[in-house]
């Protein structure tokens, strides 16, 4: 007889908690216990849980029109495309996907198409994360994630993040693009330096390579501007975003600088679900709530407050990041232990590395809730010896 096993494929190591509902920055589990969510479903739930405007927009759109395919246009998608491109001065053109990794695939395909078969290599960063589909995985600079999935698509090389010289050596006649996270997320929250990004932009211009930014995690207001590159002084040729865009509804997109956009023509790329009415209505609502509630400013302010307060806690060596995308570097491999204890005490964070905590709360986090989170983490860290 078959043993009664989990019906799931064993891809996730999960905490023994099941959530039933959420409200703003709080979650409630099946036992009714309340949690302060300082992770937001990994930088996804940007405007908080169960935002009434988002719930209403999705319900209204669902009762009107859910899907038509990309053989036709739909109103919410037209509005979303106009809104998104207006956030970058109308100088980009957009393609919609359903996830981050699909947006990366689009960016890579675009860079190769634009190079017209003459160049195909993408130079990526060590420790980067770009997704789980095969090309995005090949772009990801974490060899342990490649294991068992070879052969990966060819044409990806990796250079040390923030090491301009290593990138300079890695870009050659075969390079069609450089792909970077302006702030590495899954790798442990490591921001690129302004000098590095400026140097990379210059290198790309000199050598005729496109500069692609992965803003899947850092985009949509998380760092205090719509996209982090807008405060970093380096304009990409192509950038992608996803996580926070739909506030939890799956959607991603790839934006291409308008003067390059002719390199894609009908038939070159596509998606059955991408840019559907429901996802578009959700994302449109998320973007307008971010504006109405001043969440870019809030992300900057509360992010700065959190960074300052976290910095003074025991075991904390460094707080990295921008806005509400923060990494807390601890002095030893206690991140998993701290995360588990925090969960028990009703605060959700993430151990992004063995000695690094990640904090990516909803952008509407209040000062009071931020300080409560810090005080719980402070209690936990004070009680750890060493």
Ligand X SMILES: *Cc1c(COP(=O)(O)O)cnc(C)c1O
Residues within the interface to ligand X (CB under 6 A): 99-101, 104, 129-131, 181, 185-186, 214, 216-217, 242-243
* Closer of 131 and 141 to ligand X (Cβ): 131
* Closer of 228 and 329 to ligand X (Cβ): 228
CA distance 255 to 250: 17
360 Rama class: left (phi>0) / alpha (psi -120 to 50) / beta: beta
* Closer of 132 and 207 to ligand X (Cβ): 132
Give CB contacts under 8 A, 24+ apart, made by 153-157: 155/112, 155/120, 155/121, 155/122, 156/121, 156/122, 156/124, 157/121, 157/122, 157/123, 157/124
Q: How far is the CB of 130 from ligand X (least distance, A)?
A: 5
Strands 190-191 and 183-184, sheet pairing: antiparallel
Q: How far is the CB of 336 from ligand X (least distance, A)?
A: 20
Q: Is 136 exposed, middle or buried (0-12, 13-18, 19+ CB in 10 A)?
A: buried
* Closer of 128 and 341 to ligand X (Cβ): 128
CA atoms within 13 A on the CB side of 239: 26
> ∠ CA(335), CA(340), CA(341), 5° rounding?
100
Q: How far is the CB of 380 from ligand X (least distance, A)?
A: 26
Q: How far is the CB of 174 from ligand X (least distance, A)?
A: 24
**Helix (DSSP H) and strand (DSSP E) numbers for the chain:** 11, 17
DSSP 251: -
* Closer of 101 and 355 to ligand X (Cβ): 101
* Closer of 216 and 342 to ligand X (Cβ): 216
* Closer of 45 and 381 to ligand X (Cβ): 45
Q: How far is the CB of 229 from ligand X (least distance, A)?
A: 13
Q: How far is the CB of 81 from ligand X (least distance, A)?
A: 20
Q: How far is the CB of 132 from ligand X (least distance, A)?
A: 6
**Looking at beta carbons, which residue is closest to ligand X?**
100
* Closer of 99 and 223 to ligand X (Cβ): 99
CA distance 115 to 134: 21
Of 366, 284, 364, nearest in space to 45 by CA: 364
Structure tokens at 267: 């038939």
The Cα-based distances of 156 to 7, 159, 287 in angstroms read 36, 10, 34
Q: How far is the CB of 3 from ligand X (least distance, A)?
A: 32
> ∠ CA(317), CA(130), CA(79), 5° rounding?
110
């Amino acid at each position: 007889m078959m043993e009664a096993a989990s019906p799931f494929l064993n891809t996730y190591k999960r905490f023994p908690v099941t959530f039933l509902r959420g409200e703003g920055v709080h979650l409630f589990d099946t036992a009714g216990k309340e949690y302060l969510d300082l992770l937001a479903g990994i930088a996804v739930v940007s405007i908080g849980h169960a935002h009434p405007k988002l719930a209403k927009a999705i319900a209204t759109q669902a009762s009107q029109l859910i899907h038509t395919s990309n053989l036709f246009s739909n109103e919410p998608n037209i509005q979303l495309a106009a809104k998104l491109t207006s956030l970058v001065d109308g100088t980009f053109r957009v393609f919609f996907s359903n996830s981050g990794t699909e947006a990366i695939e689009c960016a890579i395909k675009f860079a190769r198409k634009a190079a017209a078969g003459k160049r195909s290599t993408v130079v990526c960063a060590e420790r980067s994360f770009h997704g789980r589909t095969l090309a995005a995985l090949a772009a990801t600079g974490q060899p342990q994630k490649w294991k068992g999935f070879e052969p990966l698509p060819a044409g990806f090389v990796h250079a040390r993040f923030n090491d301009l010289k290593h990138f300079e050596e890695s870009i050659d006649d075969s390079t069609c693009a450089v792909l970077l996270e302006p702030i590495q997320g899954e790798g442990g929250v490591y921001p690129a330096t302004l000098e590095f990004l400026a140097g990379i932009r210059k290198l790309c211009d000199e050598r005729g390579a496109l500069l692609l930014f992965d803003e899947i995690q850092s985009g949509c207001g998380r760092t205090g501007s719509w996209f982090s590159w807008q405060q970093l002084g380096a304009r990409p040729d192509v950038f992608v975003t996803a996580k926070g865009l739909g506030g939890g509804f799956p959607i991603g997109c790839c934006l291409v600088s308008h003067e390059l956009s002719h390199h894609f023509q009908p038939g070159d790329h596509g998606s059955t679900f991408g840019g559907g009415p429901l996802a578009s209505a959700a994302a449109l609502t998320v973007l307008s709530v971010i504006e109405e509630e001043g969440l870019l400013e809030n992300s900057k302010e509360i992010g700065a407050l959190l960074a300052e307060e976290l910095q003074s806690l025991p075991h904390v060596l460094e707080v990295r990041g921008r806005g509400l995308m923060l990494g807390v570097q601890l002095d030893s491999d206690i991140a998993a232990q701290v995360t588990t204890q925090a969960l028990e005490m009703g605060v959700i964070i993430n151990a992004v590395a063995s000695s690094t905590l990640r904090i990516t709360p909803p952008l509407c986090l209040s000062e009071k809730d931020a300080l409560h989170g810090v005080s719980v983490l402070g209690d936990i860290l004070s009680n750890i010896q060493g």
